């Protein structure tokens, strides 16, 4: 079966995203390698989400479109949190807030529809999965409201915002790859423990750096 070109682009973008994100996490924060890897991660992650949106539309799998929007929101707001420029950052964050609020509302509506009408296709996402994405999108909306408030965020708050959003975007990319594309890996690497290890590792690194920031030993902004 011939694989569509856009699917190959999507797969390649996913592999590069994971590689660039790993380098950004492993390199010294604020240094040239970290900045370079972070820039590649953001650019390729956006390509990944755009190709994911197209595949969602062409395959009529709407749920993955909401995940793509969620991941896009995380990398865009995380990127601008580290490169704070009053006018530009505020405009981008306002636009991102409106997008994630829309994502919340539509996911919630889809979940309610499935709860009432029932799911005629068990292989498709359930109402609970839509509620999870809606809940997380709503949580991001609340945090964005806080960031856009009169007090805004101090330097430490913006570092934390940058760290956890970029890490969670990488977590989504690694999770989707492990769950949906593991068939391209060697057979020995398809063991559930091996597939789960990088997903857990990303979360562990995220928590480690957030604790450093909250304890006052955080890395400089990227």
d(CA 32, CA 30): 7
Predicted pLDDT at 165: 93
Report the 10 Å Cβ neighbour count for 6. Answer: 14
DSSP string of 83-97, one letter each residue = S--HHHHHHHHHHHH
Encoding tokens for residue 6? Answer: 């856009």
First to last CA, the chain: 43
How much is the mean pLDDT over the chain?
A: 82
pLDDT in tens, 179-189: 666 565 666 66
The token pair that represents 207 in the structure block = 């928590």
Task: Tell me the pLDDT tens digit for each residue of 64-109.
Answer: 889 889 999 999 999 888 876 655 567 888 899 999 999 999 999 9
- Measured in whole angstroms, the distance separating CA 123 from the mean position of its chain's CA atoms is 24
* 25-63 pLDDT per residue, tens: 888 877 889 889 989 999 999 998 888 888 877 777 788
User: What is each CA distance from 28 to 15, 20, 166, 167, in whole angstroms?
Assistant: 22, 14, 15, 15
Give which of 148, 105, 144, 112 is closest to 128, Cα–Cα. Answer: 112
């Amino acid at each position: 079966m011939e694989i569509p070109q856009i699917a190959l682009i999507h797969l390649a973008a996913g592999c590069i995203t994971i590689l660039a994100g790993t380098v950004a996490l492993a390199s010294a924060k604020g240094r040239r390698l970290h900045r370079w890897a972070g820039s590649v991660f953001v650019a390729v992650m956006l390509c990944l989400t755009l190709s994911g949106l197209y595949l969602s539309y062409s395959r009529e799998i709407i749920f993955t479109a909401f995940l793509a929007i969620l991941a896009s929101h995380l990398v865009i707001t995380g990127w601008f949190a580290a490169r704070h420029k009053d006018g530009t950052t505020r405009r981008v964050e306002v636009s991102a807030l409106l997008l994630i609020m829309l994502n919340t509302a539509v996911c919630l509506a889809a979940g309610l529809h499935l709860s009432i009408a029932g799911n005629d296709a068990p292989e498709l996402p359930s109402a609970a999965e839509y509620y999870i994405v809606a809940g997380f999108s709503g949580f991001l909306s609340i945090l964005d409201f806080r960031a856009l408030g009169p007090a805004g965020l101090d330097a430490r708050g913006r570092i934390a915002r940058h760290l956890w959003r970029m890490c969670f975007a990488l977590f989504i990319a690694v999770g989707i790859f492990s769950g949906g594309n593991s068939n391209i890996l060697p057979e020995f690497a398809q063991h559930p423990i091996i597939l789960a290890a990088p997903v857990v590792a990303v979360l562990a690194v995220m928590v480690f750096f957030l604790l450093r920031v909250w304890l006052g030993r955080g890395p400089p902004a990227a």
